[in-house]
Amino acid sequence: MSDFRIHTLGCGSAKPTLRHQPSSTVVDYHDNLFMVDCGEGAQIAAQRFRLKLNRMRHIFLTHLHGDHVLGLPGLVSTLGLAGGGGHLTIHTFKEGERILNEIFGFFSRDLPIKVEFNVIRPEEAVVFENNSITVRTVPLRHRIPTVGYVFEEKEKPRHIDRRMCDFHQVPVCQLRNVKNGSDFIKPDGTIVPNRMLTSDADPARSYAHISDTAYTPSLAEKIGAVDLLFHETTYLDIHRKEAKARGHSTAREAGRMAALCGAKRLLTGHYSSRYKDDDAFRREALEEFPEVILNREGLTTNV
């Protein structure tokens, strides 16, 4: 099983249907959970799909439309009622901090969970970083301030060739330096090149979550050549004028974006309730890009 995977909790748009819930996605990286958006029903979906929400410490909001945030009051209350304490950081705009603080202050003030806010802006910026992964924002074109998020692994250490390290008598205390690319210098001054002691590191992986946005070709450079691109496919091309007017994209435009940025695979989603055949989104995107995954609730996608 992959240690970097995407769980889809909801891939519908503003109007919930019996087939799709509003937007919510969980990025599972080495069993650390990061939620992107929290539409209604997100916590129920997370429980249904056996996700351990006590491992979640960060929620990244793309924007402040209800279908992306209205699941938060219930989720925070549930996390508090679980009695585990701890803290939760919500990455959102300044107005989101004000609104959510008021809601949590009324409904969740006595719960043993500390909610903190990281105020973001509609700009390119790193908003989270630890030893293994970086999360950065990219500004999108919607009706209100909106960002997408790009999750990127940091460069990984090289693989030790145990046989060669033993042959050259590399001490254990030097293995970390060798893994990080250093040559080994023997006591007599002989330099053993790093390439003789190691093999290439596994490639760093990346996932971009591009939520509500009008099609913007210049966005491709900001996203980069990610391994997996989630790009909204709210409309089909027959309704492209309506998509542009409402700050959304068509499935065909999502396929074009995947090709422009050099993504390896495209994940569809944020479907308008007017369409009854979800596979139409995949078929249309395939006309522009060859690797398209049709999204649905409960789908787990390896990065």
Span 177-196, pLDDT tens digits: 988 899 999 999 899 999 99
Residue 180 belongs to what domain range?
Answer: 159-199
Q: Give the pLDDT of residue 80.
A: 80
One-letter amino acid at 22 equals P
pLDDT higher for 199 or 208?
A: 208
Closest C-alpha to 100, from 139, 61, 135, 134: 61
Span 204-263, pLDDT tens digits: 999 999 999 999 999 999 999 999 999 999 999 999 999 999 999 999 999 999 999 999
Where among 181, 199, 217 does a domain terminate?
A: 199
The band of 85, judged by pLDDT with boundaries at 50, 70 and 90, is low
Give me 291's structure tokens: 């690797």
- 251: domain CATH number? 3.60.15.10
E strand or H helix at 87: strand 87-92
Q: Give the pLDDT of residue 269.
A: 97
178 and 206 assigned to the same domain: no
191 and 208 assigned to the same domain: no
pLDDT higher for 174 or 280?
A: 280
Q: What is the mean pLDDT of residues 101-110?
A: 84
195 and 88 assigned to the same domain: no
Count of domains forming the chain: 2
90 and 66 assigned to the same domain: yes
262 and 292 assigned to the same domain: yes
Where among 173, 199, 225 does a domain terminate?
A: 199
247 and 123 assigned to the same domain: yes
Q: Give the pLDDT of residue 83.
A: 64
As beta bridge partners, residue 134 has: 129, 152
Using the predicted structure, report yes or no on whether residue 1 has a pLDDT greater than 70.
no
35 and 173 assigned to the same domain: no
Span 26-65, pLDDT tens digits: 999 999 999 999 999 999 999 999 999 888 999 999 999 9
- Residue 279, phi-psi category: left (phi > 0), alpha (psi -120 to 50), beta (remainder): alpha
181 and 285 assigned to the same domain: no
Span 108-128, pLDDT tens digits: 777 778 899 999 999 999 999
107 and 247 assigned to the same domain: yes
DSSP assignment letter at 153: E
35 and 137 assigned to the same domain: yes
Give me the residue label for tokens 């959970």. Answer: 33
Active-site residue, from 28, 37, 67, 227: 67
125 and 234 assigned to the same domain: yes
83 and 171 assigned to the same domain: no
Q: Is 161 assigned a catalytic role?
A: no
What is this structure's pTM? 0.91
